[in-house]
């Protein structure tokens, strides 16, 4: 959590919008805030955020990361539901230069989140799994044959292929999901509160979307999927399984989904078989 946790004041809020707990960053920033309404402390508003069109975990039971613009100020925030009946969290920081802050967590080419942001998010997501058994599915996505595209059509074409794949990923990302460019030709998706079966369906939809892209050459992606288990000490073990599954998908002929479970069970799904 180094980075996000130290940067963002984080609060726990009850169903009446009152702050019931805060991390040390929040206490240092705001002083004595326990019992005060979150919208007054964080944004200096007189009414709850949803009345200003701002997504609110208390009101809408939503989770996510976004940027809030209020008059001459902008805020980067994370928010969501905690599985303790009627409890919610919100993390927020005032942004003075939105372009600079965006570059710290957004991939400039694809406009998805970047690897640094995803590492922080993965740790937060895995901690929710360890504490409250909130499941999540990881999808490791690789654009097949990017080197050949670069060699045959140039790096500009390779960049365009990555952008088009990112659009397919974004088109199949729910508001609660998070997608990032992991690096090079690889992408990573985190699907919270999701069964592996649903993750497989999302992966197949992405493969189908990419296969339909009009381009200089046929585009395809391979995808590896996995979920956490009680024996995983950190998200890195889940990530390693998804990475290994991705390798199996690519070795099997590409444009396929491979699933690797914690018990060692693995299987492949071919989009052609799925459509048959």
pLDDT digits (tens, 9 = 90+) for 88-128: 999 887 776 656 656 677 898 999 999 988 988 888 889 88
Domain range holding 34? Answer: 4-103
Residues facing 90 on adjacent strands: 11, 79
Say yes or no to pLDDT of 210 above 90: yes
DSSP state of 199: H
Question: What does the pLDDT average to over 242-254?
Answer: 93
Question: Is residue 88 situated within a structural domain?
Answer: yes
Q: State how beta strands 256-260 and 221-226 pair.
A: parallel
What's the CATH code of the domain at 43? 3.30.450.20
Say yes or no to pLDDT of 153 above 80: yes
Q: Is 270 assigned a catalytic role?
A: no
Higher pLDDT, 123 or 228: 228
Alpha-carbon separation of residue 89 from 16, 128, 145, 179 (angstroms): 13, 12, 42, 21
Least Cα distance to 76 among 56, 60, 96 occurs for 96
Question: What does the pLDDT average to over 36-42?
Answer: 92
Residues 6+ apart with CB under 8 A from 195: 135, 137
Q: Range with the lowest mean pLDDT among 82-91, 96-105, 243-252?
A: 96-105
Let me know whether 257 and 123 are in one domain. yes
How many residues are given for the chain? Answer: 276
Question: Is residue 108 situated within a structural domain?
Answer: no
Q: State how beta strands 221-226 and 10-14 pair.
A: unpaired
Predicted TM-score (pTM) of the model is 0.67
d(CA 116, CA 86): 31
What's the domain count of the chain?
2
Among 82, 103, 124, residue at a domain's last position: 103
Say yes or no to pLDDT of 136 above 80: yes
Question: What does the pLDDT average to over 157-166?
Answer: 96
Question: Is residue 262 situated within a structural domain?
Answer: yes
Question: What does the pLDDT average to over 130-137?
Answer: 88
Choice among 142, 144, 185, 232 that is catalytic: 185
């Amino acid at each position: 959590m180094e980075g996000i946790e130290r940067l963002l004041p984080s609060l726990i809020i009850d169903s009446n919008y009152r702050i019931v707990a805060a991390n040390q960053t929040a206490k240092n920033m705001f002083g004595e805030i326990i019992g005060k309404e979150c919208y007054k402390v964080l944004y200096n508003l007189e009414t709850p955020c949803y009345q200003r069109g701002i997504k609110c975990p208390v009101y809408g039971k939503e989770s996510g990361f976004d940027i809030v613009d209020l008059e001459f100020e902008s805020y980067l925030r994370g928010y969501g539901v905690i599985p303790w009946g009627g409890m919610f969290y919100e993390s927020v920081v005032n942004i003075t230069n939105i372009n600079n802050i965006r570059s710290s967590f957004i991939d400039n080419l694809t406009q998805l989140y970047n690897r640094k942001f995803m590492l922080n998010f993965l740790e937060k997501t895995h901690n929710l799994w360890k504490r409250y058994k909130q499941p999540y599915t990881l999808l490791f996505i690789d654009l097949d044959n990017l080197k050949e595209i670069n060699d045959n059509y140039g790096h500009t074409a390779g960049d365009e292929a990555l952008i088009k794949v990112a659009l397919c990923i974004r088109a199949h990302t729910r508001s609660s999901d998070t997608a990032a460019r992991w690096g090079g030709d690889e992408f990573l998706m985190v699907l919270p509160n999701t069964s592996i079966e649903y993750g497989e369906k999302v992966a197949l939809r992405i493969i189908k979307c990419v296969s339909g892209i009009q381009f200089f050459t046929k585009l395809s992606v391979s995808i590896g999927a996995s979920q956490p288990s009680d024996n995983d000490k950190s998200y890195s073990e889940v990530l390693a399984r998804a990475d290994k599954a991705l390798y199996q998908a690519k070795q099997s002929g590409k444009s396929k989904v491979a699933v690797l479970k914690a018990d060692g069970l693995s299987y492949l799904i071919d989009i052609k078989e799925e459509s048959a």
